[in-house]
């Protein structure tokens, strides 16, 4: 199942700012060292952009962004879907993309009808 989630305003702004900075950094690195020798810079840029899309708190310097709707449109959407499934008596399994993502989502699920398991 594919579920499209639109980034919230804070994520959109951070993504665009980071995208422009990473584009410049990657292009400069490729011009300086060539494509084959620039793979780590390219992967770093992709990782940071992916982190912004998942949750702003995953990106260094965004730890204070924890208000509902500001940190993660993706997490907010996931929690809404999980609440619906739990209300219908349906169980599900989610596999976050990183240990930090798992900690963030678990923090929101523990102590609720959603719950978590290790």
Shortest CA distance to 72 belongs to which of 101, 40, 99, 95?
101
Q: Is the residue at 15 inside a domain?
A: yes
Predicted confidence at residue 69, as pLDDT, reads 46
Domain membership of residue 118 (yes or no) is: no
Check if the beta carbon of residue 65 is closer than 8 Å to that of residue 73. Answer: no
* Chain segment 46-105, per-residue pLDDT in tens: 999 998 988 888 887 655 444 544 668 888 888 888 888 888 888 777 776 677 777 777
Asked whether the beta carbons of 83 and 102 are under 8 A apart, the reply is no
Evaluate whether residue 3 is within a structural domain.
Answer: no
pTM of the predicted protein model: 0.72
Domain interval for residue 60: 9-109
- Domain assignment present for 52: yes
Q: Is residue 56 part of a domain?
A: yes
* In-domain check, residue 4: no
Residue 99 maps to a domain: yes
Domain count, the chain: 1
Q: What is the pLDDT of residue 110?
A: 65
- Any domain includes 116: no
């Amino acid at each position: 199942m594919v579920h499209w989630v639109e980034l919230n305003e804070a994520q959109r702004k951070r993504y665009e700012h980071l995208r422009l900075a990473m584009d410049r950094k990657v292009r400069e690195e490729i011009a300086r060292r060539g494509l084959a020798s620039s793979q780590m810079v390219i992967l770093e840029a992709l990782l940071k952009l992916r982190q912004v899309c998942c949750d702003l708190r995953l990106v260094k310097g965004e730890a204070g962004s924890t208000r509902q709707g500001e940190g993660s449109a993706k997490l907010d959407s996931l929690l809404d879907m999980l609440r619906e499934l739990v209300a219908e008596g349906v169980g599900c399994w989610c596999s976050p993309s990183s240990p930090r993502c798992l900690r963030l989502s678990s923090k929101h699920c523990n102590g609720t009808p959603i719950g978590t398991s290790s």
